Amino acid sequence: MSQENDFAKVERPLECGTARDFTEQLDDDAALDAIVESRASMYGFLARLLRTEVDEPLLSCMRTVDFPLDTGNPGIDEGYRLLKEYLTSQTLTLGAMLDELAIDFNRIFDHAGIPGGDGVTPYESASTDDPVSCRESVRHTFLLAGISKSPDWKGWEDHVALELEFEQILSLRAFDALHADDTDTADDLLESQQEFLEEHLIKWVPTFADGAMALARTDFYRGILRLTIGFITADQEFLEDWAD
């Protein structure tokens, strides 16, 4: 796809739950199509939940999902277990749940990116000794892919949600390339995903998520954060296996 894409204008509708074993061995192109598409759904799901508070349509949808508890990945399983327990054991009304989760979200995350703030800063640059270079590196990577942040997004490009959404967009492009029998383009996109994951996400998100879990007071956000660590770790293994 040659046209420029804006974050928050994703090329597929967001699904509230997609369950697959991300570590399975893939033997044919049809299976690769399926896993690439499911990876896009998961990246988009996590990006949405770490970008802003959960809203009523998404929470209502999540309450209908039968999250798997035996994917073969302990981190993913634990994340799903915490989510399922929160969503199925609640005596609160939907509105009260939304209020509780909004409070927890804003307690956990310092979206202003101010060092020493009360919450955990969801920006990669906060974990580095050279934040300006970090932000410019991420921004340059996005621009090379023809992607820019939405004008509505007032934060920097190295926010955890935008980095996850970047991986989502590349997954969607790879899925489209596979369906067009353009395996060379699909290979290039998967290679770009592996490079970004290893140079950025895997280096800081697990530590960030651990810190955020220490502040979370609901199993909902503990589950999302545990799921994030488990998924990007599993995806790193998938991309390494694919590269071999």
Is 230 within a domain?
yes
What is the Cα–Cα distance from 167 to 125, expressed in whole angstroms? 18
Concatenate the DSSP letters of all residues of 23-76 into one string. Answer: T----SHHHHHHHHHHHHHHHHHHHHHHHS---HHHHHHHTT----S-SS-HHH
Is 11 within a domain?
no
pLDDT for res 11? 39
pLDDT for res 105? 95
Direct distance between the N- and C-terminal alpha carbons of the chain, in angstroms, rounded to an integer = 26
Residue of higher predicted confidence among 26 and 149: 149
Closest C-alpha to 178, from 26, 74, 18: 26
Is 130 within a domain?
yes
Residue 35: give the domain boundaries: 29-243
Mean pLDDT of 41-60: 94
- Tens digits of per-residue pLDDT, 146-192? 998 888 888 899 999 999 999 999 999 999 999 999 999 999 999 99
Count up the domains in the chain and report the number: 1
* Cβ neighbours of 116 (radius 10 Å): 6
pLDDT for res 33? 86
Is 19 within a domain?
no
pLDDT for res 66? 87
Is 12 within a domain?
no
Is 110 within a domain?
yes
The domain spanning residue 140 has which CATH number?
1.10.3480.10
Is 1 within a domain?
no
Q: At 116, is the secondary structure helix, strand, or coil?
A: coil
Q: At 159, is the secondary structure helix, strand, or coil?
A: strand
- Tens digits of per-residue pLDDT, 58-91? 999 999 988 888 888 899 999 999 999 999 987 8
Residue of higher predicted confidence among 160 and 112: 160
pLDDT for res 24? 42
> Hey, which bits of the chain come out as E strands?
5-6, 147-148
Is 201 within a domain?
yes
Mean pLDDT of 39-57: 94
Mean pLDDT of the chain: 86
Residue 52 has pLDDT above 70, yes or no: yes
Closest C-alpha to 124, from 207, 24, 226, 25: 207
pLDDT for res 116? 52
What is the band of 16 on the pLDDT scale with cuts at 50, 70, 90? low
Query: Residues near 132 by Cβ (< 8 Å), separated by ≥ 6?
Result: 125
Half-sphere exposure for 64 (CA within 13 Å, toward CB):
7
What is the band of 13 on the pLDDT scale with cuts at 50, 70, 90? very low
Residue 208 has pLDDT above 60, yes or no: yes
Residue 22 has pLDDT above 50, yes or no: no
Concatenate the DSSP letters of all residues of 97-136 into one string. Answer: HHHHHHHHHHHHB-TT--TT-SSB--BGGGGSS-HHHHHH
User: Running DSSP on this structure, what letter comes out for residue 140?
Assistant: H
What is the band of 15 on the pLDDT scale with cuts at 50, 70, 90? low
Closest C-alpha to 220, from 87, 29, 46, 68: 87
